[in-house]
Amino acid sequence: MSARQLLVPLALAQFICSFAGSNMNVMINDISQDLDTTVKGVQTAITLFLLIMAILMIPGSKLTDRWGRKRCFVGGLTLYGIGALVSAVSPGLGVLILGNSVLEGVGTALLIPPVYILTTLAFENVTSRASAFGIISGAGGVGAAAGPLIGGLITDAISWRAAFVFQAVIVATIVLISRRLADPIAPDPTRPFDATGAVLSGAGLFFVVLAILQADTSGLLLAVLFLVGAVLLLLFGLHAHAKEQRGEEPLLSLTLFRNRTSNLGLITQNIQWLLLMGISFVVSVFLQTVRDFDALKTGVIFTATTAGILISSLAAGRLAKRYAQRTLIRTGFVITIAGIGLLLGLVSATSQNGIAFAPGLLTIGLGLGVMLTPSVNIVQSSFPEGQQGEISGLSRSISNLGSSLGTAIAGTILVSDLASGNHTYVLAMIALAVFALVGLAAALLLPAESRVPERA
C-alpha cells in the first residue's frame, strides 16, 4: 500500500471517530424518549465517550509499540464496530453507555494513535507530512461538523439506531481496505508499559470531568470530585517524574511539557475542539428542546458549519504557504469569536427554519477550519522523529479532552435550566466565548519560530 493509498483508511478512521462525537447531538430528543431518559442522561453518554477517548489515548499510543500499529488499528476498529452494534440495540441508557461510551471509546483510543504514527512514518519529508496531517485533521473536522447533518438524515429517515449501524458499516469498510496495510516497525512485546501511570492519569481526568457534570447539583460534591481528580493527577506527575529519575520509561515523559511552543499549541488544540463540540451540543439541544426542531431540521442547520470547515480546510494549503502557522491560528480564533457573537446576537430572531443560526455557524466553521491543521503542525513539528509517537498520543488526548470538556461545561450550563428558554443558552455561549479568548491569548503568545513555510 503506497503512502497516498494509506491515507484513505486513516482519514476515514479519523472521520468516523469525530463523527461519532457529534452525531448524537441531533438525536437527543429521540433517544431520550425511546430509552425513557433525560437530556442530561444523553449528555453524560456523549461526554463519557469523549472522555474515555481522552484518558486512554496516551496508553493506547504506548500499546502500539508492544502490540504493533496495524494490530491496534484493526483491533480498535473491531471493538468500535461491536460498540456501535451494541448501541444500536440498546434497551436503556446503561447499555447505550456500554456500547457508545465504553466500547466505542476504548476502540477509538486504540485506533487513533496508529493513524498519526503511521502517517508520520509513511511521509518522511516535512512538506508531505504536513499535507497528510492536513487531510486527516480536515477529515476529523468535517466528521465532527457533518455529524449532526448525517445523524439527522438517518434519524429522520429510519431511526437513531440506524445511525449506529451506519457507523458499524463504515468501520467494516475501513477494516476491509486496511488488509494491505503494513506495519513499518515490528512490535516489541517486551516494551515496558506504565500501568500505574495509566490508572492515575485516567482516574484523575475522569474525576475532573465528572465534577463538571455534577456542577448543577451540589457545590460540595463538585469540590470533592475535583479535589480527588487534582490529587490523582498530581500523583501521576510525581510518579512519572520518579520513573524518569530512575531511568525508566513513564506513561508520558514530562520533558514533552518543556517545549513552550508545543505547550501553547496544545492549548489552542484543546480549545478548538472544546469550541467545536461545545457549540455543536449547545445549539443542537437548544434547537430541539426550546425551538422544538426535529433531528433532520437540526442537522440541516449544521450544514453551515460543515460548509465553513470545508471551505477553509480546502484553502488551508495555500494559506499555509503564505502565512505563518501562528497567524492562521490567531485569525481562526478571531473569526470564531465573531461567529459566537453572531449566535448570541441573533438568538432572539424568530425563524421557522432556523436560518438565523446559519451566519454564526458558518463563521465558526470558517474560523475552526483555518486553525485546526496549523495547531497540529506546530505541535508535531516541535519534536524530533524519535518522539513523534509520544507527542501524537498526547496531542490526540488533549484534543479529545477538549471535546469532552466542551460538551460537559457548556452542556451542563445549558441543561441546568432548559425551561428558561434563551437564558441558559446565552450563558453557555458566553462561557464558550471566554474559552475562545483564552485560546486567542495562547495563540498571541506563540513565538515567531512557529512559522512553518511551504506546508500544505
221 & 332 share domain: no
Q: What average pLDDT is seen over the chain?
A: 86
Which residues are CB-neighbours of 346 under 8 A, at least 6 positions away? 356, 357, 359, 360
Three-state DSSP at 89 gives: coil
Sign of CA dihedral 310, 316, 319, 324: positive
CB atoms near residue 445 (< 10 Å): 14
Three-state DSSP at 302 gives: coil
106 & 226 share domain: no
Q: Where is the domain boundary, 212, 232, 250? A: 250
Count Cβ atoms within 10 A of the Cβ of residue 348 and give its class: 0-12 exposed, 13-18 middle, 19 or more buried: exposed
Whether residue 189 lies inside any domain: the answer is: no
Q: Is the pLDDT of residue 453 over 60?
A: no
Q: Report the number of distinct structural domains present in the chain.
A: 2
Q: Of 117-121, 209-213, 250-254, 417-421, where does the model show the most confidence?
A: 250-254
Q: Where is the domain boundary, 212, 230, 250? A: 250
Q: Is the pLDDT of residue 17 over 90?
A: no
Whether residue 203 lies inside any domain: the answer is: yes
CA angle 108, 114, 119 (to 5 degrees): 130
Domain extent, residue 331, equals 3-182+251-450
Overall average pLDDT of the 77-102 stretch: 95
292 & 437 share domain: yes
Q: Where is the domain boundary, 206, 229, 250? A: 250
93 & 136 share domain: yes
- 10 vs 137: CA distance, rounded Å: 10
CB atoms near residue 318 (< 10 Å): 10
- 402 vs 360: CA distance, rounded Å: 21
134 & 23 share domain: yes
DSSP category for residue 191: S
8-12, 87-91, 392-396 — which is least confidently predicted?
A: 392-396
- 165 vs 99: CA distance, rounded Å: 12
- 255 vs 241: CA distance, rounded Å: 10
Whether residue 187 lies inside any domain: the answer is: no
Count Cβ atoms within 10 A of the Cβ of residue 187 and give its class: 0-12 exposed, 13-18 middle, 19 or more buried: middle
pLDDT score, position 450: 42
Higher pLDDT, 65 or 157: 157
pTM of the model: 0.82
Q: Is the pLDDT of residue 456 over 70?
A: no
pLDDT score, position 353: 63
If we measure between CA atoms, which residue out of 220, 278, 221 comes closest to residue 47? Answer: 278
Which residues are CB-neighbours of 169 under 8 A, at least 6 positions away? none
- Percent of residues, the chain, with pLDDT higher than 90: 36
Q: Is the pLDDT of residue 227 over 90?
A: yes
End-to-end Cα distance, the chain: 22
126-130, 139-143, 232-236 — which is least confidently predicted?
A: 126-130
Higher pLDDT, 103 or 57: 103
pLDDT score, position 351: 59
Q: Please give the C-alpha separations between residue 366 and each of 23, 107, 142, 438, 442, in angstroms, as whole numbers.
A: 20, 30, 12, 19, 20
Q: Is the pLDDT of residue 273 over 50?
A: yes
CB atoms near residue 125 (< 10 Å): 8
337 & 385 share domain: yes
Task: Write phi, then psi, for 201 (nearest 5 degrees).
Answer: -65, -45
Q: Is the pLDDT of residue 135 over 60?
A: yes
pLDDT score, position 400: 82
173 & 209 share domain: no
Whether residue 298 lies inside any domain: the answer is: yes
- 90 vs 165: CA distance, rounded Å: 12
pLDDT score, position 339: 95
Whether residue 188 lies inside any domain: the answer is: no
Please report which confidence band the pLDDT of residue 285 belongs to, taking 50, 70 and 90 as the band edges: confident
pLDDT score, position 455: 36
If we measure between CA atoms, which residue out of 190, 327, 336, 342 comes closest to residue 273? Answer: 336
Whether residue 455 lies inside any domain: the answer is: no
- 295 vs 356: CA distance, rounded Å: 18
For the chain, state the CA radius of gyration: 21
pLDDT score, position 169: 95
pLDDT score, position 451: 41
- Percent of residues, the chain, with pLDDT higher than 70: 93
